[in-house]
């Protein structure tokens, strides 16, 4: 990947190429490589709340509407010192809809990895978030992710109907075969008919309820 344009005098780096200035790249589409980690989150907090919280003994996640964290892509340096205070970061979950043009799906995978590469270079522990859209992204979304480490997936909002569940399960199967993770951090529901087979393969499933589900339980007086 050429970074020549970002080096030109008076040339504004509108693509944030500095995020990957020292990166290694993998796959046909040259996604930045994310170094593996064996760290597992103790608690999670969404980015929109993390920027004002003083409770740093937890991990930041981005399983929320894109507009709530698009500012991180627009001005990464503004939030670096805040993110460094936390235990770690699960990489941004930019949306990948199946009806998105393929190039937009690729761009959102790239943006997540570029931010992750930059955070790692600045001493932040990160867990790669694996998000896939349509079938074309199943294998591609694994490019640059090392085997045998910890990965994260978001199931919240992806299991609404039969077709959504089929796509989620089908893509996850491809991801696990390629990456062979030791641990999968799951934000959202963990249906037995999808995840039980991976538990039987000795893959640790670390589950966190979604903010929506926790709010519903509070309304019902469960917690």
Residue 2 has pLDDT above 60, yes or no: no
**Domain spans of the chain, in order of start:** 21-219
Residue 28 has pLDDT above 60, yes or no: yes
**DSSP string of 164-209, one letter each residue:** HHHHHHHHHHHHHHHH--SEEEEES---HHHHHHHHHTT-EEEEE-
Residue 56 has pLDDT above 60, yes or no: yes
DSSP 34: B
| Token pair listed for 27 | 């796959």
Residue 153 has pLDDT above 90, yes or no: yes
CA separation for the pair 133, 140 (Å, rounded): 10
CA dihedral 168, 170, 171, 172 (to 10 degrees): 80
Over residues 32-39, the mean pLDDT reads 96
Give the per-residue pLDDT at 157: 83
**Per-residue pLDDT band at 222 (split at 50, 70, 90):** low
Residue 133 has pLDDT above 90, yes or no: yes
Reported as a single tens digit per residue, the pLDDT across 167-195 is 999 999 999 999 999 999 999 999 999 99
* Average pLDDT value for the chain: 92
Cβ–Cβ < 8 Å for 80, 51? no
Over residues 194-211, the mean pLDDT reads 95
Reported as a single tens digit per residue, the pLDDT across 68-114 is 999 999 999 999 999 999 999 999 999 999 999 999 999 999 999 99
CA separation for the pair 151, 153 (Å, rounded): 7
Residue 215 has pLDDT above 50, yes or no: yes
Give the per-residue pLDDT at 7: 52
CA separation for the pair 32, 111 (Å, rounded): 9
Give the per-residue pLDDT at 10: 63
Residue 219 has pLDDT above 90, yes or no: no
215 SS3 class = helix
Which of 100-104, 117-121, 155-159, 219-223 is least confident?
219-223
**Per-residue pLDDT band at 158 (split at 50, 70, 90):** confident
CA distances from 146 to 59, 111, 128 (A): 21, 18, 10
CA separation for the pair 159, 4 (Å, rounded): 43
Q: What is the CA radius of gyration of the chain?
A: 17
């Amino acid at each position: 990947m050429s970074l020549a344009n970002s080096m030109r005098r008076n040339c504004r780096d509108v693509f944030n190429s500095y995020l990957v200035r020292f990166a290694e790249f993998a796959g046909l589409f040259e996604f930045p490589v994310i170094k593996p980690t064996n760290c597992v989150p103790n608690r999670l907090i969404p980015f929109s709340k993390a920027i004002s919280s003083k409770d740093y003994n937890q991990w930041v996640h981005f399983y929320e509407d894109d507009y709530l964290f698009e500012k991180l892509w627009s001005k990464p340096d503004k939030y670096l010192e805040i993110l460094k205070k936390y235990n770690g970061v699960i990489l941004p979950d930019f949306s990948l809809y199946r009806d998105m043009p393929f190039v937009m799906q690729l761009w959102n995978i790239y943006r997540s990895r570029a931010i992750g590469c930059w955070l790692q270079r600045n001493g932040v522990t990160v867990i790669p978030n694996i998000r896939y859209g349509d079938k074309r992204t199943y294998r591609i979304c694994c490019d640059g992710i090392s085997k045998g480490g910890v990965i994260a997936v978001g199931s919240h909002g992806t299991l609404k109907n039969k077709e959504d569940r089929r796509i989620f399960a089908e893509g996850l199967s491809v991801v696990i075969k390629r990456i062979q993770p030791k641990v999968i951090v799951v934000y959202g529901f963990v249906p037995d008919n999808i995840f039980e087979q991976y538990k039987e393969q000795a893959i640790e499933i670390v589950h966190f309820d979604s903010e929506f589900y926790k709010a519903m339980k509070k309304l019902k007086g469960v917690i």
